[in-house]
Structure 1
Amino acid sequence: MKIQWALILGLIFAIIIALFAMVNIEDVPVNYMFGEAYWPLILVILGSALIGAIISASFSLVRIFSLQREAKQLRKQLDQKEPELQQELRELRELLALKDAELTRRNDEFYTLEQRVMNKDPMLLDKSER
């Protein structure tokens, strides 16, 4: 949609320049550093607009190419980092599983000790309580 609007505005601008150039058809002097020539004003206007469009397009192309190169480099970095992140994720999952198993074991130990205390296991009581 954005490209369509740019195209429409470009066409409108081109039509305005063409109409303006057709109204101004008399010869005008064009001074060079080494001489002078008389050209129809329509050619001077259209030539100037064309040169401006070429310069603008050149700068746009340079910007586009630099952005494409940057995007390619970023994709390459992403592709390099992805396996590292996958490995780190696997390691963290393994660590989580180990910690979860340790927590379960300690909870079981706690429960066993709690049951012994509740049942007044003689091995846990002090000599004075026996």
Structure 2
Amino acid sequence: MKKQITTIIGIILIIVIALFALINFESVDVNFGFASVRVPLVLLILISVLVGALIIFLLSSILNVKKNRQYRGLEQQSEQRQAELTHQIQELQASLKELEIRLKNASGKQELGVKDQQISSLEAEIDQLSEKLSQK
């Protein structure tokens, strides 16, 4: 939509400039400081418009080049940051796996400890029952 509006405004400006040039068709003297030339006003207006358009084009091109450089710099920074974050994620995943292994080992040891306690208590009960049997 923005490009359409810009195009319409550009066409309107071209028509206004052409009408202005056609209305002012007489010749005028143009002094360049070292030479003086008699030129039709229409030609002078059109040349002035073309020089102005060329200047605007050059300035906008320079701004676009600067913006492209900034964009590339920001893109490189973004890629570096993504690489850093990917590395951090990999480190965190490795730490998570290590912690999971430790947790499994710890829970396995706890289970062994509980089973050892159960065995000890069963052995104690067996000893008590054996004593009772031997007493009878």
Tell me the TM-score normalised to structure 1 length. Answer: 0.70
* CA deviation vs aligned residue, 1:61-95 (integer Å, no higher than 9, x gap): 11111111221222222222212111112323444
Pairs within 5 Å for 1:1-130: 1-95=1-95
Q: Stretches of 4+ moved more than 4 A in 1?
A: 93-106
For the aligned residue pairs, the C-alpha RMSD in angstroms reads 2.6
Secondary structure of 1:30's counterpart equals: strand
User: Percent identity, aligned pairs only?
Assistant: 36
- Partner of 1:18, secondary structure, is helix
Give the letter aligned to residue 8 of structure 1: I
Q: Which has the larger radius of gyration?
A: 2
Q: CA deviation at 1:3?
A: 1.5
* 2:126 counterpart residue number: none
